[in-house]
Amino acid sequence: MATTVTPPKKRQFFSFRLSLAQKRMVWAYIFVAIPLAYFLLVNFSAMFSSFLFSFEDYVTIRASRTFIGLENYQRVFEMKPFLDALRNTFVLAAVRVPLLTVLSLGVALMLHNIRRAKGAFRMLYFIPFVTSGVAIAWVFKFMFLPNFGLFTHLFDLLGMKRVFFLGDPKTALGSIISVTIWAGLGYYALIFLAGLEEIPQVFYEAARVDGANSWQCFRHITIPLLNRTLVLVILLAMISSLQSFTFVRMMSKDGFGGPLNSTITMPLLIYKEAFFSMQMGRASAIAVIFFIIVLIITVIQRKLVSREVDY
């Protein structure tokens, strides 16, 4: 009975299923058509254009664009501001990332441990995340003021030698880095806190029963189990450090990384070359180099960090 009926039924069922699945597929493509076209245009084709521009003699006010091969790259590496920007960007990342990681982990651990007013403290540290960088920069610029600034008064009060903060090439970058650490602390602490809350309490209870002290618990339970969060925080902090723009633009003496290029960073140099020197080609070459640096550091550091802590 079944053998005679099955073939037509099966075919009918099969063709019905296929057309329904196809119909859904068509709908899926219709729904994602606009978003995909958008990403193609705004991200991928723009990235391609960036590579293209970097091989061209392209100055905004001139209409013509000519292919000049690697000349932009050659010239960029002979530029003093480029080398300064490269150095400053690395210094900024090398100082900011470890400090930010350690401090935010410390804050997160304390927030995790305290029993009352957790929410209030968490909020307090997190406020800068929702504040605009421009507003923060103005406030600190005001406090860093050479003669009337609050920090000058504080230094006087403590009997310390006066410092010119943003006005001195020796202290300008350090002053800006400290502001970026202040501004980022709560964000990373919150990510750590989420990671800490994921660790099951059972591990700590078991360790206590075995007589482990706080440091041993931290070293052998918290750190290994927080590995994933740690990698993420370092990665995010690294990317945000490399991309520093708002604070250096706002707080450097002339807005372009002064004094004496002591605070110029890669993003600020790209901005300056493209929109003030009108050198679109050269700026694109710097942007491409910057992109490659960000990519390499991200990949290397992701591998290094996960290897060091993971066991």
Partner 1 sequence: MRNEARAVQPGAVFRQGLQYLLLGFGGLIMLFPYLWMISTSLKARGTWYNISLLPDPLSLEHYELLLSTSLLPRWYLNTLIIAITATASVAFFSALTGFVFAKYRFPGREILFVAILSTIMIPTEMLIIPWYVGIAQLGWIDSFQGILMPGMLTAFGIFVMRQFMANIPNELLDAGRIDGVSEFGLFWRICLPLAKPALAVVIIFTFLGQWNDFLWPLIVVNSDNMQTLQVGLSRMSSLETGADWGGTMSGAALASIPMLIIFLFFQRQIVQGLTLTGLKG
What residues contact residue 104 under an 8 Å CB cut-off, 6+ apart?
A: 184, 185, 186, 187, 188, 189, 191, 192, 233
Helix or strand or coil: residue 205?
Answer: helix
The one-letter amino acid at 232 = L
Under rule CB under 8 A, residue 284 binds partner 1 = yes
Task: Tell me which of 140, 144, 164, 165 binds partner 1, using CB under 8 A.
Answer: 140
Closest alpha carbon to 58 in 287, 233, 252, 256? 287
Site for partner 1 in 1-20 (CB under 8 A): none
Between the CA of residue 150 and those of 59, 156, 164, 168, 254, what are the distances in Å?
44, 10, 12, 17, 21
Under rule CB under 8 A, residue 288 binds partner 1 = yes
Under rule CB under 8 A, residue 305 binds partner 1 = no
Contact (CB, 8 A) for 140 and 179: yes
Query: Least distance to partner 1 from the beta carbon of 81, Å?
Result: 15
Closer CB to partner 1, residue 136 or residue 173? 136
Under rule CB under 8 A, residue 276 binds partner 1 = no
Closest alpha carbon to 141 in 265, 15, 249? 249
Task: Tell me which of 195, 238, 263, 272 binds partner 1, using CB under 8 A.
Answer: 195
Cβ atoms within 10 Å of 243's Cβ, excluding its own = 15
Under rule CB under 8 A, residue 257 binds partner 1 = no
Q: Of the listed pieces 2-10, 91-99, 162-170, 236-244, which binds partner 1 according to CB under 8 A?
A: 236-244
Query: Least distance to partner 1 from the beta carbon of 98, Å?
Result: 18
Closer CB to partner 1, residue 105 or residue 288? 288
Under rule CB under 8 A, residue 82 binds partner 1 = no
Under rule CB under 8 A, residue 153 binds partner 1 = yes
Beta 56-58 vs 65-67: how paired, if at all?
A: antiparallel
- Tell me the per-residue interface mask from 86 to 125 with partner 1, x by CB under 8 A, - otherwise: ---------------------x--xx-xxx---x-xxxxx
Residue whose pair of structure tokens reads 């993003």 in the numeric block = 267
Under rule CB under 8 A, residue 277 binds partner 1 = no
Site for partner 1 in 205-224 (CB under 8 A): 205
Task: Tell me which of 250, 261, 262, 264 binds partner 1, using CB under 8 A.
Answer: 250
Task: Tell me which of 9, 10, 47, 170 binds partner 1, using CB under 8 A.
Answer: 47
Query: Least distance to partner 1 from the beta carbon of 94, Å?
Result: 18
Query: Least distance to partner 1 from the beta carbon of 304, Å?
Result: 18
The one-letter amino acid at 273 = E
Under rule CB under 8 A, residue 148 binds partner 1 = yes
Residue whose pair of structure tokens reads 């690697």 in the numeric block = 70
**Helices 266-275, 280-309: crossing angle, 10 deg rounding:** 170
Q: Of the listed pieces 68-76, 91-99, 167-175, 188-196, which binds partner 1 according to CB under 8 A?
A: 188-196
Cα atoms in the Cβ-side hemisphere of radius 13 Å centred on 13: 6
Under rule CB under 8 A, residue 184 binds partner 1 = no
Between the CA of residue 268 and those of 257, 288, 290, what are the distances in Å?
7, 14, 11
Under rule CB under 8 A, residue 185 binds partner 1 = yes
Closer CB to partner 1, residue 18 or residue 150? 150
Q: Computed from CA positions of residues 107, 112, 114, 120, in that sequence, does the dihedral angle turn out positive or negative?
A: positive
HEC assignment per residue over 78-99 = HCHHHHHHHHHHHHHHHHHHHH
